[in-house]
Structures are given as C-alpha cells and as structure tokens.
Amino acid sequence: MSLPHKSIATIDSPEFINLQPLDINPLMSKCEIKVFYIGENRNQSYISKEVALEMAKTLRGAPIVGYFKDNKEDFADHGNRMTIDDEGIHFDCLTKPYGFVAPDAQVWFQKFSETDEFGNELEREYLMTTGYLWTGQFEEAQSVIDEGKPQSMELDDETLQGHWAKNTKTGMEFFIINDAIVSKLCILGDDVEPCFEGAAITGESTTPSKFTLDDDFKKSLFTMMKELEFALKGDNTVEQLENQNVETTEVVESEFVEQAEDNSVETVEVENQENIEDASNSEESTEFVKKDEEEEEEASEEEADDSDEDPEDSEDDKEKKVNHSLHTDEEYAELETKFQALQESYSALEAEKEELVNFKNNVEDKQKDELIAKFFMLSDEDKQDVIANKRQYSLEDIESKLAVICYRKKINFVEDASDSTSQEVVVTFDMNDASDDSTPEWVKLVEANQNKL
C-alpha cells in the first residue's frame, strides 16, 4: 500500500533543534520503580545478582501497564481474562500502557530494611530504575505518583530460561532463573500483593530510605562555602571560585548528604572547608614549596610598606573581614535550623509510615479471613495449614492452596444453567475480581499457576 501523498527530502541539510535534557512533554510525571529483589522469593523462584545484572539491560524501553477497574476505583491484577466458547479456551489481556522506562533511565541496586510476615527484620537488595507515567492523559495514573502502588514485573515466556533445584537447608524447591527479558512492569491495586513484597512504583525520590536536600538548600550551602573561602583567602575572588572544577562541588554535596544523616553538621562544615581549600590550592602547591621563603620575605616587606603608608586602610580591611565572618556565621546558623526542621519532618513521616503499615496488616487479615470463609465446603482440618500460616501466605497463595484441595477432593461446582435455550455456551471469567462468587475455583487455580512474577 502506497502513501496517498509523496514527500521527498530536499538536498539541503536538516536543521536540528538543540533540545535540553529537561525539554520533555509536561504531561508526564517521573516515577521511581522497585522492580524485584535478589535471591529467593515467595513465588518459589530465585534470581541471582549476576542474572539480575543481565536482566537490568532489558529494562530501558519496557512499558509500564495497568488494568484500572472503575467499579473499585483502583488498579487490579495483571488483567488476564479467560474466555470459553465454541473455539475453545483463550486468554485476553486487559492492561493498557500508562507509561514507560526511558531509554536513558538510570538503573541501580539499593538495599532496603523490611519486615516479613512474621515481624522479622531483614535486608533485601532491589533492582531499581526510573520511568515516566502519562499523568496528563490518564487521571488514574496520578494516584501512582501521589500515593504509590504495588508493582509486578512480567517476563517474556519465549526467552525465559531456568531450572528447578532444591534448597538443602529448607527442603523447598525453587525455579532458578538463568536468563529472562523484562517484558512489562505492571501497576497493581492496593489490595493486590506482588510476588516481591516491597516492589512498587512511587513518585520520584519518595522512598524513606533516601534522604535528599532540595535544590535551594544545596545552592545556599555552596554559596555560603564560596563566601567563606573568599573571607579566609583574601587573594581570591568569588568569580575565581565559581570557575573551580565541577567535581569539587559534587564531592562537597555528596559528603554533606552523608554526614547530614548522622546530624554531624559541625563536622561537615570543617570537611567542606578543607575540600574547597585543597581543590583550589592543589595546582599551586609545587610552586608554593619552591618559592616559599622568597614569598614570605616579599609579603613581610609589602605589609610593612602598607602599614607605613596608610594605616587607616588596614583597619578598614580588618573590619570588613570581621563583618564578613559574622555574616557567614549567621548563614551557618540558618542552614543548621533548616536541617533540623528537615530531620523533624523525616521523623514524623517515619511514624506515619509505621501507623499505615499496621493499618494495612489489619485490613489484609480481614480480607484473608473472608476468603477462607468462602471455602465453606472444606472442613477446618482441610484449611488448617492455611489458617495457621495466614500471615505468611498472600491472598493469591490462600486461594490457590484451597482451590487445589477442592480439586483433589473432586468437589463439583455447578454453573448457572438458567438459559437452557441457547445452543452455544460461552462462559467468560474475569480472573482479577476475587469477590465474584460465580467464578469457579478451578478457574482461579488456572490463574494461580500462570507464569507470572
């Protein structure tokens, strides 16, 4: 099929537009993604750090998808639907793209302190990246930025490679992933637990593990240090300090952030001064050593001459230096006050987070009890393991285990046959709505055994 209108490039060279890195569509919002953690997970799969490094190469360009359900005003699961008709059984995907991982996105590993279902503190190392969501086009995507949502990655079935192996210490079998391509990152609803417990999509730099300083604070800090350097070294100007190597600035900011977490503001002030002085004097140190004695003699003679010629100017210079030093002390005090306010805000957020976690656990316990009660056809002895390990199992785990027991006991499920006049039977099940009592448990079992992470 040919195009209705032909367009041929002329001989003239194209005129490229010099876009800056931040010249992007304003209807997008940047997000931060905890993809998965290293080691064993509760889906009985295992990813080593070496394999994770290879998988990280497939993150850039991956779509961020989701299945939003209007009736619950939240996202659902992976959005798979099974349909049975005269052509057999086939699956449909209900998710749609809400964003993507940029081709130049940063990818890194970061450790997080988490609490498991038994209340044990443990450290997990997550593969992290950043992405963009089209919050301007999709109103529901804004909740991901504002509140954060669970996230579950999907792997490409055709390229997934691995093997089963038993952990000799625990006796549990795990599927060891040797190679895989990340095909999607899926937004989940608040009531859906991902395979990797802490996997989530949040607004940029909102994770509690990061302590960041706003741009105004960094700018004020560096400006203050430049003024302090100017006060301590009378032979340098502010313009000269602004032309110092950019690496010096990065070192100063990095060291301040590390020390800020320990409330060691005074130590940072001393280290920052030393870093700036070392950076500004490193290139001249050799010359200073060679001409040290000679410069000291010349400096002494010049000071003597200046003192004899105009003593009033010398007193003015001293007064200016004293005033400048007092001004610098005031800026230090202001910065320290701002830092203390940031620390107080951080502590308040930590307390709020703990309260929300407790609330979430109570809600999940209630949901799990309701799900177990739906399997009334099973005895308490049949459900003993699930009840005893309720806090350890997810909703999906409980549903899968109880469905397997029903299947083994050959419990019959009667479908709605009220429409006996229809010759063609078409049955459609939404596999993401656990509250739908009409969905047979064996169908839910099929969902549970799908290859999802």
Helix, strand, coil percent content, the chain, rounded in steps of 5: 40, 20, 35
SS3 33: strand
> What pLDDT does residue 51 have?
96
> What pLDDT does residue 1 have?
58
Instruction: List C-alpha distances in Å: 298 to 64, 295, 301, 305.
Output: 69, 5, 5, 11
- Which is more confidently placed, 241 or 64? 64
Between vectors from CA 149 to CA 145 and to CA 151, what angle results, nearest 5°? 120
Backbone angles phi, psi at 52, to 5 degrees: -60, -35
206: how many CB neighbours lie within 10 A of its CB? 16
Spatial distance between the Cα atoms of 134 and 140, rounded to a whole number of angstroms: 10
Is residue 327 scored above 90 in pLDDT?
no
> What pLDDT does residue 220 have?
57
188: how many CB neighbours lie within 10 A of its CB? 23
- Quick: pLDDT tens for 360-408: 888 888 888 888 888 888 888 888 888 888 888 888 888 888 888 887 7
Sign (positive/negative) of CA torsion 207, 393, 159, 173?
positive
N-terminal to C-terminal alpha carbon distance within the chain: 41
Mean pLDDT of 99-119: 91
Closest by alpha carbon to 321, among 397, 203, 230, 206? 230
Lowest mean pLDDT among 23-27, 159-163, 186-190: 23-27
Sign (positive/negative) of CA torsion 361, 210, 131, 40?
negative
- Per-chain mean pLDDT for the chain: 74
SS3 108: strand
Mean pLDDT of 131-155: 94
> What pLDDT does residue 286 have?
42
288 close to 295: Cβ distance less than 8 angstroms: yes
> What pLDDT does residue 451 have?
46
Q: Tokens 């000679």 — which residue?
A: 294
Q: How confident is the model at residue 53 (pLDDT cuts 50, 70, 90)?
A: very high
pTM of the full structure:
0.46
Q: Tokens 């992007």 — which residue?
A: 24
Q: How confident is the model at residue 128 (pLDDT cuts 50, 70, 90)?
A: very high
Spatial distance between the Cα atoms of 258 and 443, rounded to a whole number of angstroms: 52
> What pLDDT does residue 228 have?
59
Q: How confident is the model at residue 303 (pLDDT cuts 50, 70, 90)?
A: low
Here the tokens at position 223 are 């400006």
Query: Helix crossing, 246-260 with 215-232: angle to 10°?
Result: 110
- Which is more confidently placed, 295 or 133? 133
Q: How confident is the model at residue 270 (pLDDT cuts 50, 70, 90)?
A: very low
Is residue 232 scored above 60 in pLDDT?
no
Q: Tokens 């490193």 — which residue?
A: 282
Q: 83-92, 146-155, 334-343, 418-427: which has the highest mean pLDDT?
A: 146-155
Closest by alpha carbon to 189, among 130, 154, 128, 148? 148
Q: How confident is the model at residue 225 (pLDDT cuts 50, 70, 90)?
A: low
Here the tokens at position 313 are 């100017």
Task: Indicate the burial class of 74 (C-beta count within 10 angstroms; 0-12, 13-18, 19 or more).
Answer: middle
Q: Tokens 């000071």 — which residue?
A: 303
197: how many CB neighbours lie within 10 A of its CB? 18
403 close to 441: Cβ distance less than 8 angstroms: yes
Sign (positive/negative) of CA torsion 135, 141, 143, 146?
negative
Spatial distance between the Cα atoms of 150 and 140, rounded to a whole number of angstroms: 14
Burial track 83-92 (b if 16+ CB lie within 10 A, e otherwise): eeeeeeeeee
